Structure 1
């Protein structure tokens, strides 16, 4: 179970659940929703190993459940800004 509230702020929790458990079962068992009330499963997406999944999808042993936060900056624009900053500094 993994959640990053912001850059460099990753929280990873190991969770044991019964066979047949779903993504939602893991989220609840992890305590992540209680520790991070800013997580809104109605608007945020979840996934397993970088692939989008629904809360009702079953999980398997050693799956990494991820909660995705909204992007603040388009990745292409972020690269452009970094490139411009490097050109000016160099």
Structure 2
């Protein structure tokens, strides 16, 4: 079975690998087969594993054609970041939809 493994190790730096695994492989086995130094970070929950954007456990089985993603936690909640941006920008600036307003 073929599985694509994606890891965003840093901002704007992404590693991608296509792995050939046995039919009953799990997420943990795929990470070990990649040879990337992320097993410890996954065990300590500094990284999260997801298949096609949905979070999965390390013992979850994989299927042929799955895209396994290893992601870092968010530093800032997107809603909080938007509020802070608006507070800096203020109501005086037109914002995102400036061109649409008459």
| TM bin (shorter chain) | 0.7 to 0.9
Between Structure 1 and Structure 2, how many residues are aligned?
87
Provide structure 1 residue ranges, at least 5 long, that are not aligned to the other structure. Answer: none
Work out whether 1:71 is the aligned partner of 2:74. Answer: yes
- Decide which structure has greater strand share: 2
Distance apart, 1:86 and its partner CA: 6.0
SS in 1 for 2:7: strand
Work out whether 1:7 is the aligned partner of 2:8. Answer: no
Distance apart, 1:45 and its partner CA: 1.9
Superposition RMSD in Å = 2.4
Aligned partners of 2:24, 2:18: CA distance in 1, in Å?
A: 17
Provide structure 2 residue ranges, at least 5 long, that are not aligned to the other structure. Answer: 95-102
SS in 2 for 1:19: coil
Aligned partners of 1:85, 1:10: CA distance in 2, in Å?
A: 31
Aligned partners of 1:28, 1:67: CA distance in 2, in Å?
A: 13
**TM-score for the superposition, normalised by structure 1:** 0.78
